[in-house]
Structure 1
Amino acid sequence: MAENENLSATLTVKQPRLLAAFKHIIAQNHLAHAYLFAGMEGAGQQTLAYWIAQRLFCLHVVDGEPDGTCEECMRIANGQHPDIVTVAPTGQSIHVDQVRYLKAEFSKSAVEGNRKLFIISDAEKMTASAANSLLKFIEEPSGNVTALLLTTNKQLMLPTIISRTQVIEFPPLGAAALQKNFEAAGIKPQAAQTLRHLTNSVSQAQALLVDDWLPNAVEQLWRWFEQVVKGDARSFVAVQTSLVGLAKDSNQQLVMLDLVAALFQDLLQLHFQVDTAAELSFGQYQQALQQMTDQLTDQQLVQATELALTAKRRLASNVSFQNVLEGLTLNLWPIFKNA
């Protein structure tokens, strides 16, 4: 956890209802012994876990809030509190030595007070041995101990763990919160605006920016799109010479088709004035998009968007990425012919 992160402020943006709920739960002394915090990456699971830790151990709680600056809060922020046990996977799983550590800690009393807190990140990566060790604690809790299991893939958790914990679902972030989340991670505003139509995950967003992949994909797609709406035969050639080479793996191919769909949805938004231009995936091309949509009929736009949205399904049906885009290009030409 970042030492100076304002946990409460972050949660007020990301998960205000959950923050309010846990303020009440702790104030009423109704904290359960085991929770599963489940949601997309970046939805606030870890932030809430550390807020709970500070709230439980803070020396100067004011209006249900930890001060974040007392000795206890600072030790938690620095990962140095002896009664806060944190476990996270090294590599692809939570390993045997970490399981032994968990088992040992489950059997120990608190070092400094009468309360102990466990925070287990990426809990879905626990081995069967680790999960069974945890299951024993959950079934037979001893003392004033709470375990917080954090996951971005609840479907990978053992049903026995899910059934014995209180599952707290973290809703996906809203557009404004997601934009702020991406920008806080150092992503430029326009890139963040495009990315939040593609993913809720900061790490996935950053992966799409490696070697400027996303800006290149957006630029090449835009060139293809300008040619398509003019019925220009070069758009068919561009599929093989530009787009296929950019989408080298299945994930990039899916993202590319999501970008195609987002481009046509931008046209629909502008044409029907559904939302503000600030919400556009391709906001940097707003003026050109507006000029295009002014020349198109409702029927043309709807037909084109339907084709763009079905492209991803064709890829899932084992049609090659190149064939999907070439077919889309050929099917779009007659729609825009009379524009």
Structure 2
Amino acid sequence: MATTDALAATLATKQPRLLAAFQHIIAQNHLAHAYLFTGMDGAGQPELARWIAQRLFCLHVVDGQPDGTCEECVRIANGSHPDIVTVAPTGQSIHVDQVRYLKAEFSKSAVEGNRKIFIIEDAEKMTASAANGLLKFIEEPSGNVTAFLLTANKQLMLPTIISRTQVIDFPPLNTAALRKNFEAAGITPPMAQLLPSLTNSVTEAQQLLAADWLPQAVAALWRWFEQVVNGEPRSFVAVQVHLVGLAKDAQQQTVMLDLIAALFQDLLQLHFQVESATALTFVQYQQALTTLTQQLSARQLVDATELALTAKQQLGRNISFQNVLEGLTLALWPIFTNA
């Protein structure tokens, strides 16, 4: 786990305003009993939760910062502090038994002080029964307890959980700085250019690049796109033969749809010249995209982009990935062939 110095440095880069805000909140003793930290993976949610824990428990706070060297800070950094309990998914979900464990811990006094902190990672993965089981604590907190629910998908959280927590939205990271982070981690410039549309996390980026998956997905997606814009029937076949075969799990399917949305947003950016070319996701295809924007009207580009953006919503409504892509392909044909 990261040291205090590393956490502070990371947060100063990723979320300086939120870091300053919580320094003030803690100094004024205005910390709420339950927070929902929401934003893209890698936006700094777990780092801020752990920094707050260290700030609250540190024995020698200096200028609003934990010193990072006292026994409390070191144990928090090592994940071994008895009064800080973290729950994460086991498999695909956080189950009701895990929440029962948390509730049992809620009722206990702090082991060494008068405060307890609970961190729930990937909170959107709580089953309905687990989330409902957590509501009582959130509605009726007991003792000096603070809970942090961390999520990259607020839309998957129960409205009752959202309404009973202080929701803190973590804004996306600066794209230019994020690309530099990716390149510093050894990621090639074309992939570093593309990845900010998918994640803020170097770790997740490296997972997407494992076994060359992301470059293969981009190449297959571009072949499909070229066929679609030409109204070629084989683009419908390409969905099953190439795209579905590559996107084998829910995460890869979501990434594929995010890539499609980013590709069409690049078209809009080029058409309306709202950003420089360096801001494009698919900068390696800039020339082809520019040529295409010259052949299409603004209305056609907007219609195509809206279709691409709604595709991910359809996947969230339990429509199969293949059906989503086939439907998108059929809907795009007339837009491009009538250009």
Match of 1:321 in 2: 325
Distance 1:213 1:92, change over 3 A: closer
Match of 1:62 in 2: 62
**Contact 1:220–1:243 at 8 Å: present in 2 too?**
no
**Contact 2:257–2:311 at 8 Å: present in 1 too?**
no
Distance 1:182 1:135, change over 3 A: farther
1:221 and 1:89 map into 2 onto residues whose CA distance is 32
Residue 30 of structure 1: how far off its partner (Å): 1.9
1:223 and 1:157 map into 2 onto residues whose CA distance is 36
TM-score (norm 2): 0.75
Distance 1:85 1:203, change over 3 A: same
Amino acid at match of 2:65: E
Aligned to 2:31, what secondary structure does the other structure show?
Answer: coil
Distance 1:80 1:243, change over 3 A: same
Q: Does 1:168 align with 2:172?
A: no
Distance 1:228 1:162, change over 3 A: closer
Number of residue pairs aligned between Structure 1 and Structure 2: 326
**Contact 1:87–1:120 at 8 Å: present in 2 too?**
yes
Aligned to 1:196, what secondary structure does the other structure show?
Answer: helix
Match of 2:121 in 1: 121
1:305 and 1:102 map into 2 onto residues whose CA distance is 50
Match of 1:332 in 2: 336
The percent of aligned pairs where both chains have the same amino acid is 64
Distance 1:149 1:214, change over 3 A: closer
Amino acid at match of 2:232: F
Residue 236 of structure 1: which of 232, 236, 244 is its match? 232
Q: Mean Cα displacement is larger for which, 28-37 or 93-102?
A: 93-102
TM-score (norm 1): 0.75
Residue 221 of structure 1: how far off its partner (Å): 4.3
Contiguous gaps of at least 5 residues in structure 2: none
Give deviations 1:15-40, integer Å, cap 9, x for gaps.
Answer: 22221111001111222233232333
Amino acid at match of 1:102: L
**Contact 1:239–1:326 at 8 Å: present in 2 too?**
no
RMSD: 3.9
Q: Does 1:145 align with 2:141?
A: no
Q: Does 1:305 align with 2:301?
A: yes
Aligned to 2:38, what secondary structure does the other structure show?
Answer: strand
Residue 55 of structure 1: how far off its partner (Å): 0.8
Amino acid at match of 2:45: Q
Q: Which of the pair has more CA radius of gyration?
A: 1
Alignment of 1:176-325 (within 5 A): 176=176, 178-179=178-179, 187-198=187-198, 208-223=208-223, 236=232, 239=235, 242=238, 244-248=240-244, 256=256, 259-260=259-260, 262-270=262-270, 272-286=272-286, 292=291, 297=294, 300=296, 302=298, 305-306=301-302, 308-312=304-308, 316=314, 321-322=325-326, 324-325=328-329
